[in-house]
């Protein structure tokens, strides 16, 4: 059954529906909505499983092209979102289905002393994916214009300059055959409250709970404003933002999987042609 709404002009229904365009207003997007998908939770879960082989297959092709075809092509998926927005689940349920050798996941935490002694992109550059791989950032350089802006961790003149620095940085990545796919998981404050409550109810989730997360809720409007600014100011044609409604976890996972798939399909990857004579090798093998 066709649950994914195909658009007429392109084969990229999720990218078309979730792409941040001129005039986008974050607070106008319903976090419970399911753009480009008509099904319910069970359909969404089924669609996710249906496509996991394709995602692994495309990553393998990406890797093969880097080994056999000298391609430098790689993909960087940047995932941002408020606490409990589902970043961890995305790593397990979407990225986790790809060959572990093909993905490089980095979760960016509060910077260490050493990291703070360098420019903010220093620790980011060290974690860029190698050719043939899918790099995934669970939080990213955007924290340096989000939490840093909300809490004035550096003077305003300093974080204000970072939008342009980030645009230059990302353009450099794109010029160097890195596809940059940026995703914001958009949850509502009420949903976050529920999820934090559930963490407190379950001893097996207490490790994920941080009392500071409750204090951060007081800054919700400032965070939304900081996200809006990042979406507005760092949304180039070559490294666009996608905002994924994330109050329904199953939808967010499906949407990010589909964004990756749509992207990888569009690369039109080819298996590299053998640099040996296949017939000759068959004969040699038969003689052994």
- Candidates 77-85, 215-223, 245-253, 279-287 — which segment interacts with Mg ion by CB under 5 A? 77-85
Q: Shortest distance, CB of residue 216 to ligand AMP, whole angstroms?
A: 7
Q: Shortest distance, CB of residue 112 to Mg ion, whole angstroms?
A: 17
Residues 127, 123: Cα–Cα separation, whole Å:
7
191 belongs to the binding site for ligand AMP (CB under 6 A): no
Residue 144 interacts, among Mg ion, ligand AMP, none and using kind-specific CB cut-offs from 5 to 8 Å, with ligand AMP
Q: In Å, how far are 29, 43, 47, 154, 253 from 90, measured between CA atoms?
A: 20, 18, 15, 30, 6
118 belongs to the binding site for ligand AMP (CB under 6 A): no
| Separation of CA 141 from chain center | 13
Q: How does strand 178-186 pair with strand 74-81?
A: parallel
- Candidates 147-155, 181-189, 218-226, 237-245 — which segment interacts with ligand AMP by CB under 6 A? 147-155
Residues 107 and 139 sit within 8 Å (Cβ to Cβ):
yes
Among 144, 170, 191, 247, binds ligand AMP (CB under 6 A): 144
- Spell out, one character per residue from 191 to 210, where the chain touches Mg ion: x when CB under 5 A holds, - when not: --------------------
Rounded (10°) angle between helices 249-266 and 52-68: 30
Rounded (10°) angle between helices 220-233 and 156-175: 40
Residue 108 interacts, among ligand AMP, Mg ion, none and using kind-specific CB cut-offs from 5 to 8 Å, with ligand AMP
> Can you give the binding site for ligand AMP, defined by CB under 6 A?
83, 108-111, 139, 143-144, 147-148, 153
């Amino acid at each position: 059954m066709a649950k994914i709404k195909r658009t007429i002009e392109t084969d990229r229904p999720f990218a078309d529906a979730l792409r941040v365009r001129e005039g986008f207003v974050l607070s106008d997007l319903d976090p419970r909505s399911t753009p480009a998908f008509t099904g319910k939770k069970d359909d969404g879960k089924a669609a996710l499983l249906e496509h996991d082989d394709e995602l692994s297959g495309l990553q393998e092709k990406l890797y093969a092209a880097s080994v056999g075809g000298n391609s430098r092509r790689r993909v960087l998926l940047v995932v941002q979102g408020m606490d409990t927005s589902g970043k961890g689940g995305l790593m397990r349920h979407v990225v986790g289905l790809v060959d572990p050798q093909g993905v490089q996941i980095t979760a960016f935490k509060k910077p260490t002393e050493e990291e703070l002694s360098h420019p903010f992109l220093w620790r980011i550059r060290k974690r860029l994916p190698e050719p043939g791989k899918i790099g995934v950032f669970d939080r990213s350089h955007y924290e340096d214009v989000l939490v840093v802006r909300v809490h004035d961790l550096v003077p305003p003149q300093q974080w204000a300059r970072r939008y342009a620095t980030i645009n230059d940085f990302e353009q450099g990545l794109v010029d160097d055959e890195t596809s940059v796919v940026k995703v914001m998981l958009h949850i509502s404050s009420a949903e976050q409250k529920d999820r934090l409550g559930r963490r407190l109810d379950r001893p097996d989730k207490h490790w994920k709970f941080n009392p500071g997360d409750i204090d951060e809720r007081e800054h919700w409007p400032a965070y939304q404003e900081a996200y809006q600014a990042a979406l507005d100011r760092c949304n180039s044609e070559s490294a666009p933002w996608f905002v994924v409604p994330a109050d329904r976890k199953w939808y967010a996972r499906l949407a990010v999987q589909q964004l990756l798939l749509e992207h990888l399909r569009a690369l039109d990857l080819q298996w590299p042609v053998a640099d040996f004579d296949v017939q000759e090798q068959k004969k040699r093998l038969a003689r052994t």
